[in-house]
Homo-oligomer: A and B are copies of this chain.
Amino acid sequence: MTTKHAVIPDSHADLLTRPLFVHLATRGPNGIPHVNPVWQIWDGEFLRFTTTHDRRKCKNVTADPKVSVSVNDPEQPYRYLEVRGTVERVEPDPSGDFFDVLAKRYGLSYEAPVGDAERRVILVVRPEHTTHQ
């Protein structure tokens, strides 16, 4: 399994395994970059994000699956990781189960299922390149 972790440097993997907000950049209409803070979970291979199929973020990655993610260490802000990759799949999450996983990971209390569960999707991103410091 030596290739599985190859893209994410061990020295910065904690920035993905800790429940830190990451800033997900996509290409919006007319090529204008969009970026905002989101939840994330990494399984050692893919990064996954929750959104809904009718939100701008999902429309952006459907039109152009190339994305980039930036996260820095709250305790050492110059320590950061950027992950560039491709949205390989947009998977339905109609039960909101994946939303629940992320909500629990990030400590959000709410009454499941999430209100927009029927529109929920999972963005599955394959990391391809990183920059870090």
Contact = CB atoms under 8 A, between A and B. Distances in A.
Interface of A: 21, 23, 25-27, 30-37, 64, 66-70, 72, 74, 77, 80, 82, 84, 131
Contacts of A67: 33
B82 A34 contact: yes
Nearest to A82: B36
26 contacts: A23-B23, A23-B25, A23-B35, A23-B70, A25-B25, A25-B33, A25-B34, A25-B35, A25-B68, A25-B70, A26-B33, A30-B66, A31-B64, A31-B66, A32-B84, A33-B35, A33-B68, A33-B84, A34-B84, A35-B68, A35-B69, A35-B70, A35-B82, A36-B80, A37-B77, A74-B74
A12 to B, nearest CB: 12
A40 to B, nearest CB: 13
Contacts of A25: 23, 25, 33-35, 68, 70
B74 A36 contact: no
Contacts of A33: 25-27, 33, 35, 66-68, 84
Nearest to A19: B77
A36 to B, nearest CB: 5
